[in-house]
Structure 1
Amino acid sequence: MTTTVGLLHPGAMGAAVGAALTARGTPVRWLPAGRGPATRRRADDAGLTEAEDLAGCDVILSVCPPAAALDVARSVAGFTGVYLDANAISPRHATEVARVLDKATVADGGIVGPPPRKAGTTRLYLSGPAAAVARLEDLFAGTDLKPVVLDGPVGKASALKLAFASYNKLTFALAAQSHALAERHGVGGELRELAAEVLPHTPLGAPGGIASAGQRAWRWEGEMAEIAEASADAGLSPALVAAAGELFARWREHRDDDGVTLDDLLQALVTRPG
């Protein structure tokens, strides 16, 4: 029997997740109301089907900015199928989503890697009720998004996602801070040469990747807030990731800016916004 999927909402990651399913013939619906032309283009490219509502869907996937996860869940309160929250939220917020959707079977998801456009690049970690997790594992099996099942409750997949992101994304914040500091003291070229020689496969030694990070920092800022909350809940200091969130906040104006340069981003770090 074919599973019908609803997707909330097709941003860059969400559209790629939807495309991974439509590529194998799984129908995926989305809600165009209130969405802009860029979202529509992504949905069309991914082979998604426009719908007025998600009635009749067996599974709903939520792939959205972390700060919107609870509101997105509330928008489909009353849903009775399998709901996957695949957002970069804290374990506490993941359990809150499950409470909001008390008529659904809620599974927890953590996407690690870039938008899945080829096999072997991106994993979907799953935790929560066994039946829901098994259904989602079967749904994504053989797609470009590799499902990985964790034995544990809602919140476990989110914890793994945030633990990985707390290292992966902070490396870009630290590299940007280092390059900005060097530039301000007139040794920017020397740092680039040194880092390229000693740490060539890091954001410090290959700073071109910082420009790509700058385009996504509007999402990463919210993710840092979730990691800070998860850290505090675990008895850890949230200070380091909170500081990274403040750094990413200085790049808000470069949201999805394909033309942003490393120099633009470094300058933004030494000029307070507003």
Structure 2
Amino acid sequence: MTRADVGILHPGSMGARVAAQAVAAGARVRWLAQGRSAATRERAAALGLTPAASTAELTAECGVILSVCPPAAALDVARRIAATGFHGVYVDANAISPDHMEEIAQVMRGNGARVVDGGITGPPPREADTTRLYLSGDDTAVDTVRTLFAGTLLTPVVLAGPVGRASALKLAFAAYNKISYALAAEACALAAGHGVLDDLRDLAAHLLPGTPLAAPEQLASAGARAWRWEPEMREIADAWRDSGLPGTFADAAAHTFDRWRAHKDDRTVTSDRLIADLMPPQPDERR
């Protein structure tokens, strides 16, 4: 049987939109429905994804498998796919350190799979020129993935070199971009504690427009995503330390994002609520 389909693990908010671009390009995209929520099933159906009954069926039908999942699950996902004997093109597009990417590559190569390191930057692809998929690794496999997404809303960008390069670029960008949200929230918490939060926002709007510090609605958007950003910060900390750099910035940001875990996928949370979560309880709240 020719394995012409594409598999996606798993169609969450980012994975679903990545899969939708493959569908738009003419691929049949399969996903593993076992154990997934009703919301995920509805999302997959709406995007035209085809359910697979098992991991074995998924790997038997698909020549390319895309892993888009929380960083902490990336290695387990790779091991489950490798256990089926998959020997197609495996794309790990998760926010993991270069060392962790190499570990996954070793797992997948045991069956002869060709491995592509993928780094997604930007929001889930819904508009042109907003989201890129950086690719490095096996040249032939990289070209397969580049061709798959060419002309879609997910722009493939090839980085010459081995696995690890795309992951390094992804984490370097995420370090600056996402830690800025944690830093803005901590700065706002300091200002709020001294009654000058509005003044800080006015100052930031004057000198730092377009930043999370200046735009409460932009800072608020981090609340719903913090549960995913916290493990990403751990990966960034590991990557920095593996490179001989201190990982303390990322450690601190991970702690901040962990304070917002209760707001998972809550699009209504406000920046004031996030700031309050960082502040010590008031005397009457300690009773």
Question: What TM-score does the superposition give when structure 2 sets the normalisation length?
Answer: 0.92
Q: 1:89 to 1:229 in 2, by over 3 A?
A: same
Pick from 74, 77, 80 the counterpart of residue 75 of structure 1: 80
In the aligned structure 1, how far is the partner of 2:278 from the partner of 2:45? 37
Cα deviation 1:80-136 (Å, max 9, x = unaligned): 100000000000010111111122111100000000112111000000010100111
SS in 1 for 2:132: strand
Q: CA deviation at 1:210?
A: 1.3
In the aligned structure 1, how far is the partner of 2:61 from the partner of 2:264? 35
One-letter code aligned to 2:19: G
Counterparts of residues 95-114 of structure 1 (less than 5 Å): 95-102=102-109, 103=111, 104-114=113-123
Q: CA deviation at 1:207?
A: 2.4
In the aligned structure 1, how far is the partner of 2:46 from the partner of 2:92? 23
Matched residue, 2:217: 208
Matched residue, 1:176: 185
Pick from 68, 71, 74 the counterpart of residue 66 of structure 1: 71
> Is 1:117–2:118 an aligned residue pair?
no
Matched residue, 1:38: 39
In the aligned structure 1, how far is the partner of 2:80 from the partner of 2:273? 38
Determine if contact 1:20/1:117 at 8 Å carries over to the other structure: no
Q: CA deviation at 1:24?
A: 2.3
Matched residue, 1:267: 276
Determine if contact 2:3/2:63 at 8 Å carries over to the other structure: no
> Is 1:188–2:189 an aligned residue pair?
no
Q: 1:2 to 1:122 in 2, by over 3 A?
A: farther
One-letter code aligned to 1:82: V
> Is 1:254–2:255 an aligned residue pair?
no
Q: CA deviation at 1:2?
A: 8.9
Matched residue, 1:139: 148
In the aligned structure 1, how far is the partner of 2:133 from the partner of 2:104? 18
Q: CA deviation at 1:8?
A: 0.3
State the superposition RMSD in angstroms. 1.3
> Is 1:90–2:91 an aligned residue pair?
no
Cα deviation 1:158-205 (Å, max 9, x = unaligned): 000000000000111111111111111110111111111111111111
Q: CA deviation at 1:271?
A: 4.5
Determine if contact 1:30/1:49 at 8 Å carries over to the other structure: yes
Matched residue, 2:7: 6
In the aligned structure 1, how far is the partner of 2:162 from the partner of 2:216? 38
In the aligned structure 1, how far is the partner of 2:257 from the partner of 2:141? 35
Residue segments in structure 2 that go unaligned for 5+ positions in a row: 282-287
One-letter code aligned to 1:190: D
Determine if contact 1:58/1:81 at 8 Å carries over to the other structure: yes
Matched residue, 2:285: none
SS in 2 for 1:153: coil
In the aligned structure 2, how far is the partner of 1:108 from the partner of 1:42? 26
In the aligned structure 2, how far is the partner of 1:91 from the partner of 1:38? 32
In the aligned structure 1, how far is the partner of 2:265 from the partner of 2:201? 25
Matched residue, 2:231: 222
Q: CA deviation at 1:21?
A: 1.1
Q: List structure 1 segments (4+ residues) > 3 angstroms apart after TM superposition.
A: none
- Name which of structure 1's ranges 207-216 and 56-65 shifts more when overlaid on structure 2: 207-216
Matched residue, 1:51: 52
SS in 1 for 2:256: helix
Q: 1:271 to 1:29 in 2, by over 3 A?
A: farther
SS in 1 for 2:30: strand
One-letter code aligned to 1:258: R
Q: How many residues align?
A: 272
Q: CA deviation at 1:45?
A: 2.1
Matched residue, 1:167: 176
Determine if contact 1:231/1:237 at 8 Å carries over to the other structure: yes
